[in-house]
A and B are shown apart, each in its own frame.
Chain A
């Protein structure tokens, strides 16, 4: 919403400065987005008096002028035809920036004679397009600032333009009057009475108006009247200046009047050329669907059923509350004008405007809510203004429907207001505030003015009182702690797990990513998603059409982008939700790590190698441990087909309880997502980790043996598809008391062992607790290890 300072001052008598006004507006909730203060740009220009003007000896058109300025008499060379002795002019002294020619004036020589400044034209000061000569002022004292002269004699030329942001609840502030009312309520001035007496009609209105019964909800009231014999044409300068200043193009006087009241009073009007209304009757009705109209914006519109239309005998002439039609619109030639002032329902108007994609000033206002009670005043004000300037003779006013009743009242609880705001605001002040905003106080009850459709309850009264009292002035008050003493932890175990997972992944060398929750359908389908349940109705692009079924596709795409940038070794992770369906709660938290390329850059020590499954297995286990998962897990196979079928493992607590999956990503997926592989990854489900049975922070007692521990190595030849874990578990089971650790330290496949065989070597650590182990004790355990392993794996001790 834009308006000029003088426009505001036509409603508000105030001595406040521009800064005061803009600061107050922002504080009141009418946030100032910008002030275009034309005066500041012209602040350096001063008045001068031409004492003499003589022809330049070397140039016929130039004159050498002696100009009296506030810095004494200066010599200025000027080429303007009207530069002559005895006129008061506007001077730009050396060093002054001239906006119209984008130049800073310097001291110069023109054809050999020195010149100390410039006398400006209106165009050079961007006041108008006038450039036939320099400005000649009819009054003014040498040395005065030009802007002060303008403010005194031609204020619209230096009128600052203020632009404010309007929150959706404040349609009243879409009129300058409403803004003035807010400022007056704050005490920044006094509202100026601008009422006008009704203009009596001298003849019956030749155009009749009706509203269909089924349309009264969307257009409850319609006022109209004809003014005949008007002389349309350009608007008076003040009106053109005012409209131009706020960025509107003056069109013709009749149209400009409607625009004026749109901004002055938040009262959109429409003017028809009465001679173009076929059948001399206008009917407001719901669209049947399929009707068409050429709008004032010269675009053709087709209407959906239920839109509010205004038609004559020829068909649709106007879109109620949104835009008038071109065929019946006023032109320079219009002599008989029909003025419409109606009230259109906000919701219906918003719907129609959205559907037709019309963003008009009328729609913007009707959909937020204009003052229905001012409808009859609106038509009188417009009549008065039209007749004052364009003459004519007004008919009686025709009315269809009735002004909707907006009367309502809410209780003002002045104690509650202070309790909510946390500020001392005396009860009387609260009442005065509401009264100044147009509420009528009746005891505790505040009757809401018709122009405040947003006020719908007691809470809205609190807001009005608070914002007029000023939230900027509100002093902070400490929020008492809920409990005395040291704050207690507030994170849930699940929340702590996520943090632990993040920090563990980062410590292991992975970089955390946050990727979009929506991905393309093709990528989603690779991971079991991409169905209609997880589809967006209105994605912003086809790349972002489906909710991700896993974190891995987003990370793989990120890896591909990094590969394209020349980074071959990529370690990324993400912690966040993936979506199994489209209902609230059909999401699960995941931790996914991705490792592509080598374990590190090529290095002089030769430690860098291609990342493999055992890297991500170790990382998955480390992150699980950081999240408090039990150390004893099963590794099973048979995860979904996004994984390499032979190179992945599920980390399980029992066959149904999967804590995570690690492995090599299926090559088909890498191909589809354009990742240069192989790629290793893990995905963990933190919420699957059982909650620890917590019984305080105390740890179990540590028993340490002083007796010497013994390690013995064994190598077994087993079938190649025997899991090492089976072998380890078997060895472990040989003597649960004595054996504290079993480690695989070598794997050898094929060779002399023959096809389909492998050798696994293990170290078994024995820790006696009662007496030092003797050779025969060790032999006995070793025999048991061999026996157990042989039985469990079908393998043999390697000779």
Chain B
């Protein structure tokens, strides 16, 4: 029996492939195999002999079967290894293309500032881009002869002959939205008005269309000190720089009184602008307490209510925050520019996670 064991275990070990292994299996433990033949011989044995030979044969059969299974697994592993060795790929080839698009900086920054102002209770108001000269000028205390009208480089819409109304304008600021929202919602009120505005000016730093966000807060006891706090908080949150310094300077706008222009702290290092450091100042914003005549135009009683308003360029603060050098490129749709300065779809700004990556 030891001979059989030696013989078949040896053959199994030497088997080169599955077919050889199957031959060995048939010869050893198949129905007509040597072990089976030996099993048949058990009947001829004495019970005592059988007591010894039976279990031994069973053990031999088990041993050969497990040797076969182990060898089979071994051969399969070797075959797999062999196959995998041949299945080599150049993994330095590029993956399948998945194109990712971008959001425009104007959209991204609009969402950023919306997130900030939402936190202190400002909602977003919108209005028409073509508006009457009343909403764009008169309601904002800019009468027909006011030099500000000429200085604003207004685009006018064509008037059909016989239509004697004053021509409509492309809004020169988003202030008409303030008036319309005051009319509709009354006081108290907290809104920001982001959106496209138009001025007939085109040079290195001006485009005939750009974007503005204006803010308006009306309540019983709102003061310029509140305005200053709101803007300081805004700049710290937007530029993500704690303690960024701002400077309020007296100025003049027809629609606010008192009025202030606001500068933020900056420095120029090697020709590059850095926000929030140094002792230079950069003008970014106009603001003030809403002129009583403007409140009246919006249907709000200035004896009862007061409030502040401010306005700044969205494109401009986008340029400052993200270091975009040229305003004109914002509207040129150059793919290279869009890819470089654009934002990923999943980069949705919020305050808990941070506005920018």
B223 near A420 (CB under 8 angstroms)? yes
Q: With an 8 A cutoff between CB atoms, is A460 at the interface?
A: yes
B346 contact set on A, CB distance < 8 A: 503, 507
Q: With an 8 A cutoff between CB atoms, is B54 at the interface?
A: no
Task: Please report which residues of chain A, range 563-601, place their CB below 8 angstroms from some CB of chain B when the two chains form the complex.
Answer: 565, 567, 570-573, 575-577, 579, 582-587, 599-601
Q: Among the listed B248, B252, B336, which residue makes an inter-chain contact with A168, where contact means beta carbons less than 8 Å apart?
A: B252
B130 near A481 (CB under 8 angstroms)? no
B93 contact set on A, CB distance < 8 A: 604
A584 near B342 (CB under 8 angstroms)? no
- The chain A residue sitting closest to B157, CB to CB, is A582
Q: With an 8 A cutoff between CB atoms, is B47 at the interface?
A: no
Q: Among the listed B120, B126, B334, B345, which residue makes an inter-chain contact with A565, where contact means beta carbons less than 8 Å apart?
A: B334
A584 near B168 (CB under 8 angstroms)? yes
- Known contacts: A29-B252, A463-B257, A479-B229. The answer to whether A512 contacts B158 by CB under 8 A is no
Question: Nearest-CB distance from B302 to chain A (Å)?
Answer: 8
Of A96-104, A288-296, A377-385, A534-542, the stretch lying at the interface with chain B is: A534-542
A472 near B249 (CB under 8 angstroms)? yes
Task: Please report which residues of chain B, range 94-145, place their CB below 8 angstroms from some CB of chain A when the two chains form the complex.
Answer: 94, 96-104, 106-107, 111, 114, 118-124, 126, 128-132, 135, 145
- Known contacts: A29-B251, A31-B251, A419-B221. The answer to whether A514 contacts B258 by CB under 8 A is no
A466 contact set on B, CB distance < 8 A: 224, 250, 258
A725 contact set on B, CB distance < 8 A: none
Q: With an 8 A cutoff between CB atoms, is A746 at the interface?
A: no
Of A82-90, A259-267, A487-495, the stretch lying at the interface with chain B is: A487-495
Q: With an 8 A cutoff between CB atoms, is B84 at the interface?
A: no
Task: Please report which residues of chain A, range 509-548, place their CB below 8 angstroms from some CB of chain B when the two chains form the complex.
Answer: 509-518, 532-541, 544, 547
A518 contact set on B, CB distance < 8 A: 208-209
Q: With an 8 A cutoff between CB atoms, is B202 at the interface?
A: yes
Q: Among the listed B102, B128, B291, which residue makes an inter-chain contact with A512, where contact means beta carbons less than 8 Å apart?
A: B102
Task: Please report which residues of chain B, range 193-235, place their CB below 8 angstroms from some CB of chain A when the two chains form the complex.
Answer: 196, 198, 200-202, 208-209, 211, 217, 221-226, 228-230, 232
Q: What is the total number of residues of chain A having a CB less than 8 Å from a CB of chain B?
A: 106
Task: Please report which residues of chain B, range 339-357, place their CB below 8 angstroms from some CB of chain A when the two chains form the complex.
Answer: 339, 342-346, 348
Question: Nearest-CB distance from B161 to chain A (Å)?
Answer: 10
- The chain A residue sitting closest to B210, CB to CB, is A514
| Most chain A Cβ neighbours within 10 Å, of B135, B148, B157 | B157
Q: With an 8 A cutoff between CB atoms, is B330 at the interface?
A: yes
Task: Please report which residues of chain A, range 397-443, place their CB below 8 angstroms from some CB of chain B when the two chains form the complex.
Answer: 419-423
Q: Among the listed A472, A478, A532, which residue makes an inter-chain contact with B248, where contact means beta carbons less than 8 Å apart?
A: A472
Q: Among the listed A471, A539, A558, which residue makes an inter-chain contact with B155, where contact means beta carbons less than 8 Å apart?
A: A539
A513 to B150 Cα, complex, angstroms: 31
Q: With an 8 A cutoff between CB atoms, is A283 at the interface?
A: no
A517 near B96 (CB under 8 angstroms)? no
- Known contacts: A168-B252, A490-B124, A513-B338. The answer to whether A582 contacts B168 by CB under 8 A is yes
A587 near B128 (CB under 8 angstroms)? yes
Q: With an 8 A cutoff between CB atoms, is B299 at the interface?
A: no
- Known contacts: A463-B257, A476-B232, A604-B93. The answer to whether A579 contacts B130 by CB under 8 A is yes
| Most chain B Cβ neighbours within 10 Å, of A168, A463, A586 | A463
Q: What is the total number of residues of chain B having a CB less than 8 Å from a CB of chain A?
A: 96
A489 to B94 Cα, complex, angstroms: 43
A587 near B249 (CB under 8 angstroms)? no
- The chain B residue sitting closest to A347, CB to CB, is B145
Q: With an 8 A cutoff between CB atoms, is B156 at the interface?
A: yes
- Known contacts: A463-B258, A479-B230. The answer to whether A537 contacts B159 by CB under 8 A is yes
Q: With an 8 A cutoff between CB atoms, is B88 at the interface?
A: no
B94 contact set on A, CB distance < 8 A: 603-604
A350 contact set on B, CB distance < 8 A: 145, 147, 150
Q: Among the listed A420, A481, A513, A561, which residue makes an inter-chain contact with B104, where contact means beta carbons less than 8 Å apart?
A: A513
A750 contact set on B, CB distance < 8 A: none
- Known contacts: A29-B249, A459-B292. The answer to whether A506 contacts B344 by CB under 8 A is yes
Q: With an 8 A cutoff between CB atoms, is B190 at the interface?
A: yes
B130 near A537 (CB under 8 angstroms)? no
A515 near B333 (CB under 8 angstroms)? yes
Q: Among the listed A354, A422, A482, A601, which residue makes an inter-chain contact with B226, where contact means beta carbons less than 8 Å apart?
A: A422
A548 to B260 Cα, complex, angstroms: 36
Task: Please report which residues of chain B, range 289-313, place their CB below 8 angstroms from some CB of chain A when the two chains form the complex.
Answer: 289, 291-293, 306
Q: With an 8 A cutoff between CB atoms, is B261 at the interface?
A: yes
A422 near B223 (CB under 8 angstroms)? yes
Q: Among the listed A460, A481, A482, which residue makes an inter-chain contact with B257, where contact means beta carbons less than 8 Å apart?
A: A460
A539 to B202 Cα, complex, angstroms: 11
A100 to B142 Cα, complex, angstroms: 49
Question: Nearest-CB distance from A337 to chain B (Å)?
Answer: 33
A27 near B104 (CB under 8 angstroms)? no
A573 contact set on B, CB distance < 8 A: 101
B251 near A475 (CB under 8 angstroms)? no
A587 contact set on B, CB distance < 8 A: 128-130
Question: Nearest-CB distance from B1 to chain A (Å)?
Answer: 53
- The chain A residue sitting closest to B307, CB to CB, is A420
A507 to B261 Cα, complex, angstroms: 39
A539 to B156 Cα, complex, angstroms: 8
- The chain B residue sitting closest to A29, CB to CB, is B250
A471 near B102 (CB under 8 angstroms)? no
Q: Can you give 11 A-B contacts (C-beta < 8 A)? A: A168-B146, A168-B151, A463-B257, A482-B121, A506-B102, A509-B101, A516-B331, A518-B209, A567-B335, A572-B333, A573-B101
Residues of B with Cβ closer than 8 Å to A? 93-94, 96-104, 106-107, 111, 114, 118-124, 126, 128-132, 135, 145-148, 150-151, 155-160, 167-168, 170, 188, 190, 196, 198, 200-202, 208-209, 211, 217, 221-226, 228-230, 232, 247-252, 257-261, 289, 291-293, 306, 330-336, 338-339, 342-346, 348
16 A-B pairs besides A26-B249, A517-B129, A603-B97 with CB distance below 8 A are A29-B259, A463-B252, A466-B258, A476-B226, A476-B229, A487-B118, A487-B119, A489-B118, A512-B342, A537-B157, A540-B208, A541-B202, A544-B208, A562-B333, A587-B130, A599-B97
Residues of A with Cβ closer than 8 Å to B? 26-29, 31, 167-170, 346-347, 350-351, 354, 367-368, 419-423, 454, 457-460, 462-463, 466-467, 470-472, 474-479, 481-483, 487, 489-492, 495, 499, 502-518, 532-541, 544, 547, 555, 558, 561-562, 565, 567, 570-573, 575-577, 579, 582-587, 599-601, 603-605, 607-608
